[in-house]
Amino acid sequence: MIYTSVKSQVRSGTIFLFILVILSGGFSIFYLQKLYIQTQHVSKANYQSLEYCHRMQAALDGTEQQGKANRDTLSKYLRLQRANITEKGEREATARVEQWFAKLKGGESSAVQNIRQELQTILSVNMQAIRIKNEQSESSAQEAKAFLIAIVGSILLIGFSFVISFPSVITAPIEKLTEAIKKVGEKDYTHRIHIQSKDEFGKLAGAFNEMAERLEYFENSNLNKIIFEKSRAEAVINSLQDASIGIDKTGTVLFANNKALQLLGLQVKDIVGSKAAAVSAQNDLFRFLLEEKGTVPFKVVVDNRENYFIKEVVDIDQEGSKSRVIVLKNITSFKELDVAKTNFIATVSHELKTPLASSDLGLTLLEDERIGKLTEEQRDLIQNLKQDNQRMLRILSELLNMSQVEAGKIQLDIAEVSPYAIADNAIEAVQTAAKEKNIRIQKLVAEHLPAVKADWEKTGWVLTNLLTNAIKHSPKDNTINLEIKEGDGHVAFSVSDQGPGIPPEFLPKVFDRFFKVPGSKVGGTGLGLAISKEFIEGEGGRIWVQSEIGSGSVFGFYLLKC
Ligand code: ADP
């Protein structure tokens, strides 16, 4: 294909129009000229003959009076007439006039009449010619008119169709381009422009197609990437041991893994993509999960087996508004362990209590002077044994209490208790554990503290638990502070350590049952603080925690003054 630029197309278009104008002008001038020549020709030859004849006729009229002068005029115009013969029969008639003129010169008087006759012949021949030529010019004019109309008409037609069609040479590709750009704007990258020409538009279309191809490639690769990421995320979510449900900011369920579907007894199509409100109207467990705010363990029967779960809600910030992932942790194994532990503790405590009580009785009997005299050393030994026995009995009753709490049967024996007694008792209970890690427990206890409203054993257990946690989480050879001070209407107990601290996001959860700070290497069941909370709140007090990563933790509680 020959390369023609748009510029040269526009130029040739204009030249073409220009040629049409010149052609129509040229034809008009040509026919005007032709007509002019024809009329010129008619008038000149025949009108001259007419004039000569009239002159000769006038000269003949005067020949009788003026004689020679008129004869000269006659001969002069006869000569001119001879040189101006144009029509058929005019030559013969002129020759006959000449013959008769010669006779007239010879004196023949009848010649005048004959000359007049012949002149009349010449006149009518020319008149006839003029008429014919006039008719011819008229028909030529008609012909020229028709021809010009045809020419101008066809030029007009060509020019008009050119004017109509030529702009589309430029606008058609522009329209195609505009359409294609719109499609790309609407993310339809498969659209291509088909312009075969090699002009500027052809090049532009080529560049556009190349761009659309690249966009399509990127779009496809992005789409593949997104699809890949989506299926990866789905695989990860489904592989989670915990049931997880994602709800976006508009309340639409984004995903629910297999475990969650199994628990809810739903299919993917029933829940994914539906509004959470609509799902909760159909499903009681789902409604409970949406409504329930706390983290209390709850029971769900799956495959005819009781399963225990706790709910965790992870908030995800999505463009200013919150999306949620509800995670259900299966704590059945912990619960079972816990029940087993509770039963075990209850049984062991119960079984040990009787032999310990009887050995206590035996020791009391041994002390009696009536049985036998004891040396000083033997008395000391028995005293120590008795103290140990008492402590063991106390610990056993604490263990029994704890198993009761865990079984949901708390019985608080609230009385006036001295904070000093609670502190001493707790410190004594953790002495061995502290010694093992060479940890010093520093008492920062104010003087003259009022008595508090508490269950002596259970509060002692709480403080013991706080001290045990502090020891567990402190590095070796460290110091733990036990502070007790009076406050407004209460007495505040606090245990501070220099351990690793607790991340802020987990602080509100440490008092939840079974909660353990993720990543903590220290073992435990996550029950101690939950039981402590129940004890303290049961006594009308409040338990709290302050902690920062790297700066240790402070656990404390307030008890009401008496
Ligand atoms: P347990 O210690 O048996 O796991 P607790 O209820 O006593 O259960 O404690 C709950 C969780 O709180 C622990 O697992 C631990 O991660 C965290 N925690 C408790 N006390 C401390 C402390 N003094 N320093 C750091 N973390 C602590």
Q: How far apart are CA 430 and CA 438, in angstroms?
A: 12
Q: How far apart are CA 296 and CA 292, in angstroms?
A: 9
Ligand 1 pocket by Cβ (under 6 Å): 465, 469-470, 473, 497, 499, 502, 510, 515-517, 520, 524-530, 553
Domain co-membership, 395 together with 423: no
pLDDT score recorded for residue 540: 92
Tokens coding 293: 């705010």
Helix (H) or strand (E) holding 306: strand 305-318
CATH number (domain holding residue 544): 3.30.565.10
pLDDT score recorded for residue 397: 67
Atom from ligand 1 closest to the CA of residue 473:
24
Beta strands 479-486 and 542-547 are unpaired
Cα angle value 367/395/391 (rounded, 5°): 25
Find the 500 Cα to ligand 1 centroid distance in Å.
Answer: 11
pLDDT score recorded for residue 416: 95
Find the 464 Cα to ligand 1 centroid distance in Å.
Answer: 13
pLDDT score recorded for residue 147: 82
Question: Ligand 1, atom 14: nearest CA belongs to which residue?
Answer: 516
Residue 215 domain-assigned? Answer: no
Rounded (10°) angle between helices 456-473 and 376-406: 90
pLDDT score recorded for residue 381: 92
Find the 276 Cα to ligand 1 centroid distance in Å.
Answer: 35
Q: Supply the pTM of this predicted model.
A: 0.40
Task: Write out the E strands in 386-436.
Answer: 415-417
pLDDT score recorded for residue 1: 47
- Ligand 1 pocket test, pick from 338, 430, 471, 529 with the greatest ligand atom count within 8 Å of Cβ, gives 529
pLDDT score recorded for residue 340: 83
479 and 440 Cβ atoms separated by less than 8 Å: yes
Find the 527 Cα to ligand 1 centroid distance in Å.
Answer: 9
Owning domain of residue 519: 412-562
For the chain, what is the domain count? 4
Q: Which residues of the chain have pLDDT under 50?
A: 1
Residue 318 domain-assigned? Answer: yes
Residue 226 domain-assigned? Answer: no
CATH number (domain holding residue 374): 1.10.287.130
Find the 6 Cα to ligand 1 centroid distance in Å.
Answer: 82
Domain co-membership, 15 together with 131: yes
pLDDT score recorded for residue 557: 97
Tokens coding 420: 């000093």
- Measuring CA to CA, which residue among 319, 316, 297 is closest to residue 306? 297
Mind giving me the DSSP string for 313-335?
EEEEEETTEEEEEEEEEE-HHHH
Per-residue pLDDT of 21-30, as tens digits, reads: 888 888 888 8
Find the 413 Cα to ligand 1 centroid distance in Å.
Answer: 27
Domain co-membership, 29 together with 159: yes
pLDDT score recorded for residue 3: 60
Residue 219 domain-assigned? Answer: no
Mind giving me the DSSP string for 494-552?
EEE--S----GGGGGGTTSTT---TT--S---S-HHHHHHHHHHHTT-EEEEEE-TTS-
Find the 316 Cα to ligand 1 centroid distance in Å.
Answer: 26
Residue 323 domain-assigned? Answer: yes
- Ligand 1 pocket test, pick from 406, 472, 516, 553 with the greatest ligand atom count within 8 Å of Cβ, gives 516
